[in-house]
């Protein structure tokens, strides 16, 4: 993630310093196009972060912070930070981050979210400030704020004295107080755009009246994800994947049981619902299959980027063996904290190509039973025939004939046998021996 804003500070020497200090005039602050403060400030048009970081996309006016004057041990007319202010700041961490990424030290521009004494919590993509969900029209997308290294989801953080918790408006593309930047010191802030000065930017912001409706809802569109995957597969001359209802069901079941049992393993050591079992219970019969999953709140493009970061999942996505895909985003709670797991199941059809002799053997069995069954049925009521044994024989013959028909139809269409049909095939030999014994006993009389 990147979240940088300011490339340089341009001080106009002709502006009297006293006017700047008292906030009576403003400084022009060039903003780089990395996109961390979108939509308040535009994104650059470059193809890479490095290119966008060299573009100046906005030049807002900001007042000097804290400003005012200091006389002896007293400060006068200094600006007091407020929630929602946009600040420009510079410290050792910003220098290290920008030097490492761009080869040049820069300051950051972020929004003030929490001040000393505030309690901050990130839950289900929303920001809770002192227990209340923030209304954030300036964010790029609703329900897009998730935890990081400094503050993880569903953990409360009380802001210590002289510290400030800042976030970028483009939450999924902002390196801010959630991550290695951490809390910043108020003394690191050099310029501020007060909340009341941001009225000109409101036309760029979102309508938040429906934000609460996104709570506990999936964040990824499966059709959009498959479309993106297929575009990548086409680049590699691979066939498109098709959404499969059975795979959607199996991936949904796997995701639900992972959350329910807190078992995020391919072996399903706690849940017992393995990939193979989920596929079988969902009615998917192909023998080539794969699974990838991840925890987090991703949209389609973000999810694909995440999967392609890992060699194993990348290999599955670009495998020529698969023709089907199912994707499910499952929401639930772990230890009282909302969580989402996204599971993708892949399947490929490999025809069984049965031997013709095997198919013919089932056809012969059907014909033989069909030929002899009428004669045994004609013996019903005969005085010299054990009617109990006869009824059992007729039952066996009909069962074998019906089972053989199911197996024959499946094999003739070159489809894999279902679990039930495999069981019927295995049982036929036992039924055949029982039938032969009954025939022999009945013919003796």
* pLDDT, mean of residues 40-44: 95
**Please, which pLDDT band fits residue 26 given cuts at 50, 70 and 90?**
confident
Residue 441 CA, distance from chain mean position: 65
Residue 8: band (very low, low, confident or very high) from pLDDT cuts 50, 70, 90:
very low
Over range 169-191, report the average pLDDT. 94
Q: Other C-beta atoms within 10 Å of 68: how many?
A: 15
Summary mean pLDDT of the chain: 90
Query: Quick one: pLDDT at residue 149?
Result: 86
List, in order, residues 6 or more apart from 338 with CB less than 8 Å away.
123, 124, 153, 154, 216, 331, 332
Distance CA 172, CA 302 (A): 9
Please give the Cα distance from 185 to 167 (Å, whole number). Answer: 14
Helix (H, G, I), strand (E, B) or coil at 73: coil
**DSSP 8-class letter at 16:** -
What is the per-residue pLDDT across 111-156, written as a single tens digit (0 to 9) for each? 999 999 999 999 999 999 999 999 999 999 999 999 988 899 999 9
What is the C-alpha to C-alpha distance for residues 131 and 369, in angstroms, rounded to an integer? 75
**Beta pairing class for 184-185 and 163-167:** antiparallel
What pLDDT digit, counting tens, does each position of 93-116 carry?
999 998 888 888 899 999 999 999
Q: Give residue 351's pLDDT.
A: 81
Residue 69: pLDDT above 90? no
* 198 closest CA partner among 107, 76, 121, 112: 112
Stretch 62-83: mean pLDDT: 81
Largest CA distance in the chain: 126
Residues of the chain above pLDDT 70, percent: 92
Residue 12 is predicted with a pLDDT of 39
Asked whether residue 178 carries a pLDDT value surpassing 90, the answer given is yes
User: What tokens appear for 213 in the block?
Assistant: 């409706």
pLDDT band at 402 (very low <50, low <70, confident <90, very high): very high
pLDDT in tens, 317-363: 999 999 999 999 999 999 899 999 999 999 998 788 899 999 999 99
**pLDDT value, residue 9:** 33
pTM summary value: 0.71
Check whether 54 has a pLDDT greater than 90: no
DSSP track, 308-373: HTSHHHHHHHT-TT--EEEEEEEEEEETTEEEEEEEEEEEE-------HHHHHHHHHHHHHHHHHH
Return the C-alpha torsion angle 287, 288, 294, 300, nearest 10: -120
């Amino acid at each position: 993630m990147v979240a940088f804003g300011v490339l340089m500070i341009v001080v106009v020497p002709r502006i009297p310093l006293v006017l700047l200090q008292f906030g009576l005039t403003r400084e022009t602050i060039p903003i780089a196009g990395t996109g961390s403060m979108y939509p308040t400030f535009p994104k650059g048009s470059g193809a890479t972060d490095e290119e966008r970081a060299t573009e100046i996309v906005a030049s807002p006016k900001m007042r000097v912070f804290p400003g005012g004057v200091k006389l002896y041990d007293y400060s006068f007319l200094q600006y007091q930070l407020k929630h929602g202010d946009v600040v420009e700041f510079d410290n050792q961490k910003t220098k290290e981050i920008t030097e490492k990424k761009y080869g040049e030290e820069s300051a950051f521009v972020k929004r003030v979210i929490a001040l000393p004494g505030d309690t901050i919590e990130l839950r289900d993509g929303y920001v809770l400030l002192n227990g209340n969900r923030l209304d954030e029209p300036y964010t790029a997308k609703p329900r897009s704020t998730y935890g990081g290294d400094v503050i993880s989801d569903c953990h409360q953080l009380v802001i210590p004295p002289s510290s400030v918790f800042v976030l970028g408006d483009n939450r999924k593309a902002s390196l801010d107080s959630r991550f290695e930047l951490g809390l910043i010191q108020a003394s690191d802030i050099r310029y501020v755009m007060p909340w009341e000065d941001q009225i000109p930017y409101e036309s760029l912001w979102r309508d938040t009246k429906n934000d609460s409706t996104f709570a506990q809802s999936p964040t990824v569109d499966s059709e959009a994800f498959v479309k993106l995957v297929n575009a990548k597969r086409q680049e590699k001359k691979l066939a498109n994947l098709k959404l499969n209802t059975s795979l959607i069901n199996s991936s949904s079941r796997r995701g639900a049981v992972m959350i329910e049992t807190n078992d995020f393993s391919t072996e399903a050591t706690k849940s017992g619902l393995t990939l193979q079992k989920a596929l079988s219970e969902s009615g998917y019969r192909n023998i080539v299959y794969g699974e990838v999953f991840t925890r987090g709140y991703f949209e389609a493009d973000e999810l694909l980027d995440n999967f392609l970061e890992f060699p194993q999942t990348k290999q599955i996505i670009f495998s020529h063996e698969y023709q089907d895909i199912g994707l499910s985003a499952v929401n639930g709670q772990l230890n009282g904290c909302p969580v989402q797991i996204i599971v993708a199941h892949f399947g490929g059809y490999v025809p069984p190509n049965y031997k013709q002799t095997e198919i013919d053997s089932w056809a012969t069995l059907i014909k033989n039973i069909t030929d002899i069954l009428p004669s045994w049925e004609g013996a019903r009521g005969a005085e010299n025939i054990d009617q109990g044994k006869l009824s059992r024989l007729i039952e066996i013959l009909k069962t074998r004939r019906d089972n053989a028909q199911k197996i024959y139809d499946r094999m003739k269409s070159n489809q894999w046998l279902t679990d039930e049909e495999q069981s019927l095939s295995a049982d036929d030999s036992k039924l055949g021996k029982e039938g032969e014994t009954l025939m022999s006993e009945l013919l003796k009389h």
